Amino acid sequence: MDVGAAAWLVILLAFVGANLPFFNDKVFALVPFKGAGHKPFLVRLGELVVLFFIVGFIGRALEGRIGTVFPQTWEFYAISACLFLVLGFPGFVVRYLRKRH
């Protein structure tokens, strides 16, 4: 896989993964939530954290397949977590901030 294609694939996976918890009421879009109708925000936040690590592992695997995996420090993970949250903002807006008629 080309380096550019791998980068765009990771960005696309991050966008989809960051918005997935907000666009459905199933846990990880697979298991129905057993509760009072809607998933609570803490469940959505937990899904977001797990999906962040899944996308990170996929990105690291693609980097290893292309060539040398570069060592990362805590700054890289802090910035990528913030970017993941920013990518999830459209789903948050649709779920919690949009007016429903």
As a three-state string, the secondary structure of 45-80 is HHHHHHHHHHHHHHHHHHHHHHCCCCCCCHHHHHHH
pLDDT, mean of residues 17-42 = 84
**Residue 6: alpha-carbon gap to chain centroid:** 16
**Residue 89: alpha-carbon gap to chain centroid:** 11
Other Cβ atoms less than 10 A from the Cβ of 80: the count is: 16
pTM of the model: 0.87
Q: Which domain holds residue 68?
A: 3-97
Strands (DSSP E) along 25-84, which ranges? 26-27, 31-32
The residues that bridge with 26 in the sheet, in sequence order, are 32
Q: Tell me the C-alpha distance between 41 and 44, whole Å.
A: 5
State residue 33's pLDDT score: 77
DSSP 3-state of 22? helix
pLDDT, mean of residues 40-51 = 92
State residue 68's pLDDT score: 84
Overall number of domains in the chain: 1
pLDDT, mean of residues 58-67 = 91
Of 54, 41, 71, which Cα lies nearest the Cα of 14?
A: 54
